[in-house]
Each structure stands twice: as C-alpha cells, then as structure tokens.
Amino acid sequence: MGNKRDIYSSKIIELPYPQFVVFYNGTKEEPERQILELNAAYPEGTDKENAALQCRAVVLNINLGYNADIMKK
C-alpha cells in the first residue's frame, strides 16, 4: 500500500505553520496594519495566558493609499 502512516504512533507529525490574514476594505479609518488576538474576545476574568487556543491574525488595510506594495503584487 505504499506510503502508509501509523496514526497511533507516538512520533510528532509536523504541521504547516498557520498564518491568518484579514484584508480590510471598509469605510472606517483603520491603520495600515494591525494584529488581532483571539484572546481579546474571551470574557473578563478569564486566564487568557493559559487558554487552550490562542490565535493571531494580521489585518491589512487594502483601501486606496494603504499597503501599496502588497496591492501592486
């Protein structure tokens, strides 16, 4: 059967590095680039540092005049 993997192995299977990007083109004035963190949405009083899931997203403003180098590509 060729390249069969043992899914019950104790060996770590490498995962691709996740990157989250959001393109903003709304009408509200926003910076050229900002970072959003999922833990900002957790309720007050939550131990945000030890959350089981922590994600970051880069928000790029793609309105006219912002991030010109990215828009050219």
Encode pLDDT of 2-60 as tens digits.
566 677 888 888 889 999 999 999 999 999 999 999 999 999 988 888 888 889 999 99
Residues 6+ apart with CB under 8 A from 30: 24, 59, 61
Give residue for tokens 């059967």.
Answer: 1
pLDDT at site 49: 82
pLDDT at site 33: 96
pLDDT at site 32: 96
pLDDT at site 60: 95
Cα 54 to Cα 40: distance, rounded to the nearest angstrom: 10
